Structure 1
Amino acid sequence: MYAILTPLQTAPFSGPSNPEIDFQNPDLLAPPSTDFGSVGSGKWSLSLSPMRLLSGGWVRYEDELVMPLGDEMAGANIHLEPGAVRELHWHSIAEWVYVLAGETQISAVDQQGRNYFGTAKTGDLWYFPTGVGHHLQATGDGPSEFVLIFKTGLFDAAKTFHITDWLSHIPFGVLQKNFGVQGSDKWSNAPSKQLYIFPGEAMPSDTVAPDSPQGQIPEPFVFPWSEQPYEEFDGGKVKTVDSSTFKAAKDFAAAEVVLEPGAMRELHWHTTADEWSFFIEGNCRFSVFTEVAARTYDMSPGDVGYAPISSGHYIENIGNTTARFLEVTDSAEFEDISLTQWLALTPPEIVKMHFGVDDETVASLSKTKNRVVPG
């Protein structure tokens, strides 16, 4: 038998349990007294997702099958060894990506025959619209790693079409006819099965895309978010991106939030979209309130959180180090409603009638949005 010590109580186990998981999730082991009802699982650790190991890298993912609350967005995590290639492919749903580490070159060709070639570095973004063919390659001195978000609750619904998989199911004569090389042995070395990720040699840094008679894709698919400034707050900082700044990405918006120990992403909700959160550094408490329930989760690096549209939530840094995470919404604009600002701009008498507070308390509420509050 062992005991788990929490701020509220000691919870003894006489039977089997997993102490490592218990210690990582104290707010599930001994939920705050303010939690109630059943929200459904709003947390998933990518450490629990099976990896698909390939020559040159790996991929793992989460979707609503493992995190039922997340029925509008699903995510994946891909790692490429230096020079490795994520093969030419396309999706039936748009792809939005944040680079966690390394440098990745991308190329794409759209339905008008226009092309694009660019490089995304750590902290940058890229985006591919539905159906646009593209490839990825780790081109820096080390590996590259990134998280991908799709606007669907089921990862399989993102329907990835791989060029090697398709061509391996085309009769060789048809393939030669398509490329105008009948009667030769050209294309005979095409793979007989899907590659997905495979080793390669990094292209030179001065590589450019072939000239297209149709021109280049006008809005870049890479956005240098790493170069954008943060908005500073007492206790942390936030920077946002949406279709007004990353013009190619018309159906995703995001915030990157940095919290000092004890600081909190203020109580808020989103009016037009769900929120898919990804935790990069530090340890946080993430609490979600729906119209019928409330649940609190403990988040570590590599964890995914989810808050449905209009659900009130907050994220608090409960560790001793800086915390950093993403908030991604499937919307053209990053917007939220601040609880504090709402109350500050509501007639004071209404606020006092609701909460029994005095004039001084109401007057102290900020009429401007403070997305981070200090500890």
Structure 2
Amino acid sequence: MQARSPHIISLLAAKPVFESEDGFISAVDASVLPILKCLSIKRIVLNPGALREPQWNVNANQLAYCASGTVLVSTLGNSASFSSFVVKPGQMYHVESGAIYHIENIGQDPAELIIALRNERPQHFSLHSTFNAMTNAVLGNTYDLPASAFAAFDRSSAKQIVRRQGNAVVPSTTGLPNARLFDVEGQHAPLSYNFGSAHLARKQYWAALEDISMYSLRIKENGMRDVHWHPETAEMGYVEKGSARMRVLDPDGSLDEYELKQGDVYFVPRAYPHHIETLGDDGFHFLIFFDQPTPGDIGCRTSVTAFSREVIGATFGVLERNLPQFPFTPSDPLMVGRLNPRDAAMNA
């Protein structure tokens, strides 16, 4: 799988790292997109009756978005902190590194999850592989049982996705509030305009987040994500729906421009200037993950407000009187309306 540019690759077209009749797992990490740093992404599809076996990440907190279906998630963390909850479309869950968890499709339709991990090369262990590493005698001693009690256990390699035997068991407590669960699409959008909106899964709204966050960004045909950069935050986006064009300026002065379509993943390192504009008439929906719990940015619109017109004029070689009347902008608006038609692609 080759990247179309240093910043972009397709997760939808990625060869699965695991596949069976019960579902599949696709992944993009630094081995296929070398520019990635501190972030990577997986797409998991579970067919009805399938579950992701209990496992835990070695080196990465995890943030997951349910794109479709209904899943049961159970986690066990430090100090025997156990929780179990149901995740529906538009909701998210968080699992801390080292906590063992499982994901189970309890609905009638396939379930799709988009999962960001806080490491460019995440690693994990599974409960199955851990049992395989131990003798029957050791397992018996662990559970106060004879070694023969484990003679029937499957010692083949872990399958990652397996089929449930019998009906799903959904604990009665799954409806209780849970710190690891967040209804991002149910949130009243903190940013909403007639040309787009942003739902924000960040620490301000979700206290469980420590080093990762996500914006569910929708921009219509008449809107645009303005030119900006994140001083201390890397950005990894997934195209959930629609198409867009993106431009990124690299420190060597080169410009990388590419078109994004459904299933694409892009990555912008910290402090790289970039912008996004829609291409289709239906706009786009991006899931944008950050390597900070509360991402910040600086925009070109705000930057012009921060300096005198004399400084801006000298910078661009324009007489002060010939400068446009820039709008006073004390903080970045995240997105702006489109007054002008789309430019032709610079790399066309």
Alpha-carbon contact 2:297-2:332 (below 8 Å) kept: no
Correspondences of 1:293-312 after superposition (within 5 Å)? 293-312=254-273
How far off is 1:261 after superposition? 1.5
Q: Does 1:83 align with 2:49?
A: yes
Q: Deviations over 1:158-194 (max 9, x none)?
A: 22101111212311121111111126x4333322221
* Aligned positions of 1:199-238 closer than 5 A: 199-200=163-164, 201=166, 203-205=168-170, 207-208=172-173, 220-230=179-189, 231-238=191-198
State the partner residue of 1:152: 119
Taking the aligned partners of 1:77 and 1:54, their CA distance within structure 2 comes to 14
Instruction: Please report the TM-score for the alignment, with normalisation by the length of structure 1.
Output: 0.81
Inter-partner Cα distance in structure 1 for 2:202 and 2:167: 31
Question: What is the aligned partner in structure 1 of residue 297 from structure 2?
Answer: 336
Give the aligned residue type for 2:124.
T
Q: Is the 8 A contact 1:80 1:138 kept in 2?
A: yes
Contact preservation (8 Å) 1:85, 1:137: yes
Alignment of 1:61-210 (within 5 A): 61-92=27-58, 93-154=60-121, 158-182=122-146, 185-193=148-156, 194-200=158-164, 201=166, 203-205=168-170, 207-208=172-173
Residue 345 of structure 1 and its aligned partner are, at CA, apart by 2.9
Does 2:208 match 1:244? no
Q: Which segments of 5 or more consecutive residues in structure 2 lack a partner in the other structure? A: 339-348
Letter in 2 for 1:361: P
Residue 8 (structure 2) pairs with residue 43 (structure 1): yes
Name the SS for the 2:78 alignment partner: coil
Q: Is the 8 A contact 1:238 1:258 kept in 2?
A: yes
- Give CA deviations for 1:63-103 in whole Å, capped at 9, x if unaligned: 12222221321111100011211011111121111111111
Residues 284, 315 of structure 1: 8 Å contact kept? yes
The answer to whether the 8 Å contact 1:164/1:190 transfers is no
Question: What secondary structure, in the 3-state scheme, does the structure 2 residue paired with 1:115 have?
Answer: strand
Tell me the distance in 2 between the aligned counterparts of 1:233 and 1:346: 27
Q: Residues 362 and 83 (structure 1 numbering): CA distance in 2 closer, same or farther, change over 3 Å? A: same
Q: Which amino acid aligns with 2:301?
A: T
| Local SS of the residue matching 1:351 | helix
The 3-state SS of whatever aligns with 2:270 is: coil
Percent identity between the aligned chains? 18
What residue number does 2:332 align with? 369
Mapped contact 2:75–2:83 kept (Cα < 8 A)? yes
Give, in whole Å, the separation in 2 of the partners of 1:43 and 1:102: 27
Q: Which amino acid in 2 is paired with 1:170?
A: M
Structure 1 unaligned blocks of 5 or more: 1-20, 29-39, 210-215
The number of residues matched between the two structures is: 328
- The one-letter code sitting in structure 2 at the alignment partner of 1:109 is L
2:56 corresponds to which letter in structure 1? W
Worse overlay, 51-60 or 312-321: 51-60
Q: CA RMSD, aligned part only? A: 2.3
Q: What is the SS of the residue equivalent to 1:48?
A: coil
In 2, Cα distance between equivalents of 1:366 and 1:360: 16
Q: 1:306 to 1:153 in 2, by over 3 A?
A: same
Q: Per the alignment, in what secondary structure is the counterpart of residue 133 of structure 2?
A: coil
Q: What is the TM-score normalised by the length of structure 2?
A: 0.87
Alignment partners' CA distance in 2, 1:160 and 1:55:
23
Counterpart residue type for residue 308 of structure 2: P
Partner Cα separation in structure 2 for residue 360 and residue 297 of structure 1? 30
Question: Could you tell me which residue of structure 2 aligns to residue 255 of structure 1?
Answer: 215
Q: Say whether the 8 Å CA contact 2:38–2:120 is kept in structure 1.
A: yes
Rounded Cα–Cα distance in structure 2 between residues aligned with 1:285 and 1:141 = 36
Question: Are residues 1:347 and 2:308 paired?
Answer: yes
- Find the aligned partners of 2:155 and 2:71 in 1 and give their Cα distance: 27
Equivalent residue letter for 1:148: I
Q: Separation in 1 of the partners of 2:335 and 2:312?
A: 22
Deviation of 1:224 (Å): 1.2
Residues in 2 aligned to 1:234 and 1:70: alpha-carbon distance in whole angstroms: 33
Do the aligned partners of 1:272 and 1:309 also contact (CA within 8 Å) in 2? Answer: yes
Contact 1:234 1:372 in 2 (8 A): no
> Would the alpha carbon gap of residues 99 and 358 (structure 1) be closer, same or farther in structure 2, given more than 3 Å must change?
farther
Q: Note the C-alpha offset of 1:111.
A: 1.6
**Structure 1 CA distance for aligned equivalents of residues 6 and 222 of structure 2:** 25
Provide the C-alpha distance between the structure 2 equivalents of 1:58 and 1:206, rounded to a whole number of angstroms. Answer: 26
| Distance change in 2, residues 1:342/1:43 (3 Å) | same
